[in-house]
Amino acid sequence: MSDPIVIRRERPDQPEVVALLSALDAYLMSLYPPQASYILDVQALLADDVAFFVARDGARAVGTAACRRVPGGPDTGGQPYGEVKRMYVDPAQRGRRLGARLLGAVEDSLRDHGCRLSLLETGRDQHEAVALYERCGYTPRGPFGGYPDNGLSAFYGKAL
């Protein structure tokens, strides 16, 4: 039997997708103070330099991921990069490798746009997220893109 999960680019402003993003926001707010959350809101996710993906099990949205293309800066040696944002899988759907598949879709999109470097900031207390990124080949690195080294964030990168 084939896997019913389909991952594709979609708009983030659909009600059921907004509900997933709200669940992610609530989770992050339960772990970190507001000043330590670097969330792109739905309006920012609609920008031309952002690719937004939804994982669907049939018609039901069960996961999200986004990437934002960023010009290079001093912390990347001038190399343009893609930043992974808004990774989330419905807790009831975890264990199906959806996070890895969403991350793969993000990386493919970045490659298609000529990005050869993928970076991300995640919370140090998001152990499942950290494990996912490390399994997918991301390695620890220093802060980038203006993020502060606040002791709550973990920074990762991967050459694409």
**What tens digit of pLDDT does each residue of 23-73 get?**
999 999 999 988 778 889 999 999 999 999 999 999 999 999 999 999 988
Question: How far apart, in whole angstroms, are the C-alpha atoms of residue 151 and residue 28?
Answer: 15
Do 93 and 54 contact (CB within 8 A), yes or no?
A: no
- What is the DSSP track for 41-62? -HHHHTSTTEEEEEEEETTEEE
The CATH code of domain 5-159 reads 3.40.630.30
**Over the stretch 6-15, which tens digit does the pLDDT of each residue have?**
999 999 999 9
Break the chain into its structural domains and give their ranges. 5-159
Tell how strand 117-123 and strand 81-89 pair up: parallel
| pTM, full prediction | 0.94
